Structure 1
Amino acid sequence: MNNVVKLLPLAILISGTLQAATDNPWYVGARIGGTSFDSVEEPLKGQDLDKDDWGGGVFIGYNVNSWFGLEGGYTYLGQADYANDGFEVQGLDFVGKFTYEVSKSFDIYAKAGGFIFDADNGVNNQDESGVSATAGVGAEYYFSDNLSARLEYQYYNQVGDKGANKPGESDVHFYGLGLVYHWGAPAPVAIIEPEPEPMPEPAPQPQVVQIEAVSATLPFAFDSDALTQADIDLLQPVAQQLVDYPNTQLYVVGHTDSRGSEEYNQTLSEERAAVVAGYVGTHFGIDKSRIVAQGKGELEPVAPNDTEEGRAKNRRVEVFVPGFEMTK
């Protein structure tokens, strides 16, 4: 069991080395479930084995991009009991994780890599360390940008060693549930445009005055088209420009991040634009003929979509009243 003493501190070290950051692709999690031993080899073969047990572990991961990440951690795979003791397996996983985004809240993934194992047979007092291949599949549901849950299966190929004076060898299957915390989910970023410059004093003779454009960018929450009080505050100078100058026109363009299908994001961006246009028209008495609203979906990002901060910046509605010249 000396290798157990070596593996556990390393797993604890891996799970506790990071600090939260605003823009951080790291995540950490834990999992628990059932395990099953099969395809056993000597000296386990032919024994009256209890092949089912429980297992679990902790892990840490790094998202290289939106579809690929790296994971490592400690996993306990339980014990196949026989002769008042048994064949116990634990170790360290190092895998690549390949993800396919089904919707904004749901992913499926596959994992493949290696497992540095410690196999201990308490019946014949044999202990073996080594590396075996491992692979798995799973599904992940996001409750929020920070928290998700996993349902997964993972296969460990021929863990241990067979033959005389060996602990034995077995395939091990793990199936269970996991909970994952993702660091770096950003708060919405509001971009406040400056107030238009005051109009110059009237000259004795007519002169051309340049009225500056007014715009604002309204951030939206994940998968939402709801206006917040902060959004309404940002709209005030834009709406006032429309009230002050009845010949001006308002342009409203909705955008989304890249999570979800392109069709869904196009519809969501149009809904966001319609909510903003409807609010301005209703609360400030602006005729619909003066408002042009459209959605661009995920096609015009202002930041990369492979980070949480970037996706938050892309979930937005841009409002714009063009500048113009007038004679005073």
Structure 2
Amino acid sequence: MNKNLLAILCVSALSTAAVAQEDRASGNGWQYSPEFSIGGGYGLTKLKDGDFDEEEAAKKAFAVFKINEFIGIEAAYIDFDESGNEAFDIDIKGKTLDLILELPISQSFSIYAKGGQMWWDADTNIDTSEFITSSDSDGDETFWGVGTKFRLAEHLDLRVEYERFNFEISRDEINVLQPDDIDMDVDYASVSLQFTF
């Protein structure tokens, strides 16, 4: 499903770029107008899995390169807080790269959709009455998100967004005592400040 969404976003971006070329030729204002932004945010995650069902915090830092007011590319680093159950803990960090399609509603407000890839690393720990063990896992998954952006000042914006991630960790990567593979959906709602140069 996430791969289908990413494909739709890519097709939309190509269609938008084609329309941009036509509008630029007709003088409607669509043109290459790059800008660069950096930002940071904080939010809450909701983990949903057979072994987990809890809320934790997460922090992110990101950089955005916009081709014009409608299309951008974002790179981010997200640090998810440690979570787990009585015997099992997992601590996930990841890097993302995604395409942003933004629709300005007014000069001070816009909405956007995003989709891309996350490369993640996870530290896992099992602590039972019989033994203690730890291991490292990694992987990559597609993800998607939606958000709104509010202009606070000439170069400062407030972003409110929702993102959906999925982490799949094989039982063999963790420990043979883990009964099942981990297939965990993570919902991430965050608030960020974005500074544009």
TM-score norm. by structure 2 comes to 0.72
The separation in 1 between residues aligned to 2:164 and 2:148, in whole angstroms, is: 16
Matched, 1:176 2:190: yes
Counterpart residue number, 2:160: 151
Counterpart residue number, 2:170: 162
The separation in 2 between residues aligned to 1:75 and 1:139, in whole angstroms, is: 19
Contact 1:128–1:160, Cα closer than 8 Å, also in 2:
no
Identity of aligned residues (%): 22
1:126 positional shift:
2.4
RMSD: 1.9
Deviations 1:49-70 (A, max 9, x none): 4521000110001011110000
Structure-2 change in CA distance of 1:120 and 1:169 (3 Å): farther
Which residue of the other structure, out of 25, 36, 47, is the alignment partner of 1:26?
36
Letter in 2 for 1:75: I
Matched, 1:130 2:139: yes
Structure-2 change in CA distance of 1:89 and 1:160 (3 Å): farther
Matched, 1:72 2:75: yes
Give the SS at the match of 1:125.
Answer: strand
Gaps of 5+ in 2: 1-32, 127-132, 176-181
The separation in 1 between residues aligned to 2:173 and 2:163, in whole angstroms, is: 29
Give the SS at the match of 1:143.
Answer: strand
1:172 positional shift:
1.0
For residues 249-268 of structure 1, the aligned pairs below 5 Å read none
The separation in 1 between residues aligned to 2:173 and 2:155, in whole angstroms, is: 49
1:146 positional shift:
0.2
Counterpart residue number, 2:17: none
The separation in 1 between residues aligned to 2:72 and 2:148, in whole angstroms, is: 15
Aligned residues: 153
Structure-2 change in CA distance of 1:24 and 1:99 (3 Å): closer
Matched, 1:58 2:61: yes
Give the SS at the match of 2:171.
Answer: coil
1:174 positional shift:
0.6
The separation in 2 between residues aligned to 1:179 and 1:27, in whole angstroms, is: 10
Deviations 1:294-314 (A, max 9, x none): xxxxxxxxxxxxxxxxxxxxx
Give the SS at the match of 1:102.
Answer: strand
Letter in 2 for 1:68: I
The separation in 1 between residues aligned to 2:117 and 2:34, in whole angstroms, is: 26
Contact 1:99–1:108, Cα closer than 8 Å, also in 2:
yes
1:160 positional shift:
3.7
Deviations 1:210-244 (A, max 9, x none): xxxxxxxxxxxxxxxxxxxxxxxxxxxxxxxxxxx
For residues 180-259 of structure 1, the aligned pairs below 5 Å read 180-183=194-197
Bigger helix fraction = 1
Matched, 1:114 2:122: no
Matched, 1:92 2:102: no
Letter in 2 for 1:70: I
Letter in 2 for 1:108: I
The separation in 1 between residues aligned to 2:165 and 2:56, in whole angstroms, is: 15
Deviations 1:278-300 (A, max 9, x none): xxxxxxxxxxxxxxxxxxxxxxx
Deviations 1:47-96 (A, max 9, x none): 4x452100011000101111000000210122222236611211101011
Larger radius of gyration: 1
